[in-house]
């Protein structure tokens, strides 16, 4: 991808592409986006979908609520503590073309609150919540990969109908 297009994506999504300044020993993102200019819009759309996910909640105990600064609320004469769980930050590990297909390798970067809650091992439902986020991101990435199969990597022109794939 041309440097100016790549820079636009890096500037627009710094959390996703923040590793691009790291060394080859740390990440493959040091080589940038190893795709043609024609897939710019697909990668932009993918990053938009990754950025705007959903939030869910987790009921936690009073000790963890105090540690995390969660404000209690009352429900049917019971004091409750609910922690809002956002999708962990997606960090691109490598973006490239392989066998004429888009490959978008990624991993989650957990914030300190999620790391803390996972370490307590008190909330097994949190693993399911994180799996749901992972499944959502996998689906979005898969959609972008399918779309790229029908799009010219150099020009961005639709080459064939997706259902023909």
Per-residue pLDDT tens over the stretch 134-145: 999 999 999 999
Over residues 73-94, the mean pLDDT reads 96
Task: Determine what percent of the chain is predicted with pLDDT higher than 90.
Answer: 93
Distance of CA 75 to CAs 7, 55, 78, 83, Å?
Answer: 49, 21, 5, 15
| Summary mean pLDDT of the chain | 95
At residue 81, φ and ψ (nearest 5 deg) are -130, 125
* Residue-level pLDDT at 73: 94
* Residue-level pLDDT at 145: 97
pTM above 0.85, yes or no: yes
Task: Measure the CA–CA gap between 119 and 127, rounded to whole angstroms.
Answer: 11
In the structure encoding, which two tokens stand for residue 117, read together? 């809650």
Minimum mean pLDDT range among 40-49, 50-59, 103-112, 156-165 = 156-165
Task: Measure the CA–CA gap between 113 and 126, rounded to whole angstroms.
Answer: 12
Indicate the pLDDT class of residue 159, thresholds 50, 70 and 90: confident
Indicate the pLDDT class of residue 151, thresholds 50, 70 and 90: very high
In the structure encoding, which two tokens stand for residue 16, read together? 């996703």
CA angle 86, 87, 93 (to 5 degrees): 150
pLDDT at 165 over 80: no
């Amino acid at each position: 991808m041309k440097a100016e297009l790549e820079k636009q994506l890096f500037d627009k999504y710094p959390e996703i592409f923040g590793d691009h300044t790291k060394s080859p020993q740390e990440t493959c993102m040091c080589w940038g986006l190893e795709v043609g200019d024609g897939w710019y819009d697909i990668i932009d759309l993918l990053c938009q979908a990754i950025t705007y996910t959903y939030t869910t909640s987790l009921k936690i105990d009073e000790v963890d609520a105090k540690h995390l600064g969660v404000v209690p609320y009352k429900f049917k004469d019971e004091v409750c503590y609910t922690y809002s769980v956002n999708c962990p930050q997606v960090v691109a590990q490598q973006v490239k073309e392989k066998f004429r297909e888009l490959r978008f390798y990624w991993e989650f970067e957990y914030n300190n609150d999620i790391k803390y809650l996972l370490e307590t091992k008190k909330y097994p439902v949190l693993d399911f919540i994180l799996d749901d986020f992972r499944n959502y991101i996998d689906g979005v990435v898969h959609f972008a990969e399918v779309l790229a199969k029908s799009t010219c990597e150099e020009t961005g022109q639709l080459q064939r109908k997706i259902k023909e794939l």
